Each structure stands twice: as structure tokens, then as C-alpha cells.
Structure 1
Amino acid sequence: MSEKKAQTRERILQAAASAMLQRGPQEPGVADVMSAAGLTVGGFYAHFASKDALMLEVFEQLLRRRRDLMALLDSSLPGEERRTLAASFYLSRKHRDATHSGCPLPSSLGALPQLPETYRTLLAEHLEVLSAEMCDSPEEADKALADLALMVGGLALARALGAGDLSDRILRAAKSAVI
């Protein structure tokens, strides 16, 4: 792939990631993504076979970025402490208000049942890897999954409400349940 084609492809992926974080994987159309990337629709198929192929790749990239951030936590800390640190960041106002970055799950979960099975497979793999990284033993894995569910649900509710007292209370309550 030429350097120019690779750069154009990356622009499309970045525009699609921003769109997914704001509106989920179904709503943004190819025209929306290409316009946000500063490109015409006609060039889309030189880079991706379909909108589904693009959005699936973006979903995978966004999930991988979340795992990469989690991997930065000190693995020598006990699992409970790693989950506490993760919750402190994940359930923060800064993360709630980050509409162009952050976790794709709050904007995507509702659409997953209508999307191809590959989305759910990616999500399952993501949750398995994250929960394993957030615990010290297989016996602790269910607690890590519960904490992940609480974090995603808390962030989804807080983002849905937007900045405000109830949203802040939800973030604090979910964080204290993990911590």
C-alpha cells in the first residue's frame, strides 16, 4: 500500500472512530465519515469493502486502545487495586465528557444485537482479556467482570445525562461500588 493511500485510510479510520464514539456503529453513513475525513464518497471503496467492514475495524481498534490503556496499570499491584485505578479514570468527569475519544461501549452496546455476530465476538474477547488483566486468579474473574459491567453502565448513564449533579453522582456511586 502506498504511503498516500495508507494516510488516507488512516484519515477515514479516525473520522469513523469519532463518529462511532458520538453516535454508535450504525448511524454514521459512509458520506458522513468521508465528509468528516475531508474526502469524497467515491474513494471509500478503494479502502474498505463496506461500511460494516470499516466500522468493525474501528470497533476493534477502539477496544484495543482501551486494553492498551489498561495494560499501563502496574501489573504488580493486586487485581483489586488495578480495578480501583481503572475505575478512578474510567468513571471520571473527564472521560464522561470526552465525546471524541474514550470507550466505544456506551455508544455502541444498544446497536450490537442488530449488527453482525463479529461485533459480539470482538466484545466477548475484549471482556475476557480485560477481566483477566484486572484479577489475580480465575476465582476473581467474575468480580472483575462485574466491575467492568458496573463501570460501563455507570459511564453510559452519566454520558446519557450529560454534565450535571445526577451524572456526577452516578460516576461517584459506580466508582465507590468498584472501590
Structure 2
Amino acid sequence: MARYSKEHKQVTRQRIIETAGVRFKQDGIGGSGISTLMSDAGLTNGALYAHFASKDDLVANVIAEELRTQVARYGTLQPGRPGLEDLVRDYLSAEHRDHPGVGCPSAALLDEIGRCEDDTKQAYADGARAIMEEIATRLAPEDPRSARGEAIGLFTMMVGTLQLSRAPADRKLADEILEQGIENTLTFMS
């Protein structure tokens, strides 16, 4: 039996994390079985255990990677408050609302993460902290610690607004929730 190179194993591991991230955000963690997750990645069920100790280990790794990627994308925004305003408008967009599989894991999975094992909760806490630090730095570049409370408030407003906007079947109401969320968030920032 031929051994795969370290690079091949890393590429395969990353593919599992990426495809599982999309599936979790679309169908939920509990609604995503190992066979579906591995099929999405083009692998057999047994391949999971060559890369992760368990599904819980995969979940923790997916959450950590999803949030790291989210923070990295924030780095591409214009500096300071203008970038933060762009972030709010992009985050609270119909596009983000309508495509949870490629969006923020907080808005898609927060209720499930709260019921996960400690490793997943820790991965989430680390990632959420990095997001809030990024927001705080944009709010008060000279003293980000002074903006920590406001950053927590903005993050929770954004996540809650997006979650709520996904619930109604009435698109007009869903759009109104997003529009009001943008207005409220930007008012909170000023």
C-alpha cells in the first residue's frame, strides 16, 4: 500500500475541512453525517479517521478554520471605520443571508456550537475573540482595548440580525430586518 506524501495528506485534510464547513453551515452540524461529509470531499468514510480523531475533532477544526478565514478576509477591507462600515454592509447583505454555506459560521451554527464539546467551544471562542479584536482595532486604532465592549456589541448585533433575517419566509420582512440591522449597527458605531 503506497503512502501519501505529507503535502497530499495536508491538501486532503484541507479539502475535508472546507467541504465540511459548507455542509455544516447549510445543514447544521447534527444534520451532517460522516458519510455525507466524506462524500462531499470525494472520500470514503474511513478517510475521516486518517485526518481527525472523530467528527467532534473535525467540527472543532472546521470552526477554527472558518473563523480564521473570516478574520483574514477582514484584513482586505479598507482601514479603520470605513472598512468596518463595508464589513457591516457586506455581512448584513441579502447575498450573505441567502447563502449560509459560504458565509459566517456564527450566524449559521451558533446554537449548535453551544451544544458542542469543549474543544469546539474553545475554537469558537478563539475565533470570535479575533473577530472582536479586529472590530475593536477598527473602532479605536490607538487603543483597541477601550473599544472591546462596543466591538462585542457590534458583533452580536450583526450575527443576531443575520440569524433573524434568515427565519422569515416573507422576503420583504427579511430584507427589512437586514436594512434595519445595518442602520442600527451604523448608528451604534457613531
TM-score range with shorter-chain normalisation? 0.7 to 0.9
Identity of aligned residues (%): 31
1:14 aligns with 2:18: yes
Structure 1 CA distance, aligned partners of 2:173 and 2:120? Answer: 31
1:74 aligns with 2:81: no
- Match of 1:139? 146
Say which of 126, 143, 160 aligns to 2:167: 160
Structure 2 CA distance, aligned partners of 1:142 and 1:13? Answer: 32
What secondary structure is seen at the aligned counterpart in 1 of 2:101?
A: coil
Structure 2 stretches of 5 or more lacking a match?
A: none
Structure 2 CA distance, aligned partners of 1:143 and 1:160? Answer: 26
Q: How many residues align?
A: 176
Q: 1:83, 1:147 within 8 Å by CA — same for their partners in 2?
A: no
Structure 1 stretches of 5 or more lacking a match?
A: none
Q: CA RMSD in A?
A: 1.9
Amino acid at match of 2:173: L
Correspondences of 1:66-145 after superposition (within 5 Å) = 66-75=70-79, 77=80, 79=81, 81-134=82-135, 135-136=139-140, 137=143, 138-145=145-152
1 or 2 for the larger relative contact order (CA 8 Å, sep ≥6)? 1
Amino acid at match of 1:47: H
TM-superposed deviation, 1:163: 7.0
TM-superposed deviation, 1:4: 3.4
Label 1:120 to 1:8 Cα distance change in 2 as closer, same or farther (>3 A).
Answer: closer
In the TM superposition, structure 1's runs of 4+ consecutive aligned residues that sit over 6 Å from their partners are none
The normalised TM-score by structure 2 is: 0.83
User: Structure 1, residues 121-147: CA drift from partner, whole Å, max 9, x if none?
Assistant: 233222332222222132222112111
User: Structure 1, residues 32-81: CA drift from partner, whole Å, max 9, x if none?
Assistant: 10111222212221121111111111111101111111122233x3x4x3
Label 1:130 to 1:14 Cα distance change in 2 as closer, same or farther (>3 A).
Answer: closer
Q: 1:83, 1:144 within 8 Å by CA — same for their partners in 2?
A: no
The normalised TM-score by structure 1 is: 0.88
What secondary structure is seen at the aligned counterpart in 2 of 1:175?
A: helix
Amino acid at match of 2:164: L
Label 1:82 to 1:11 Cα distance change in 2 as closer, same or farther (>3 A).
Answer: closer
Structure 2 CA distance, aligned partners of 1:156 and 1:122? Answer: 21
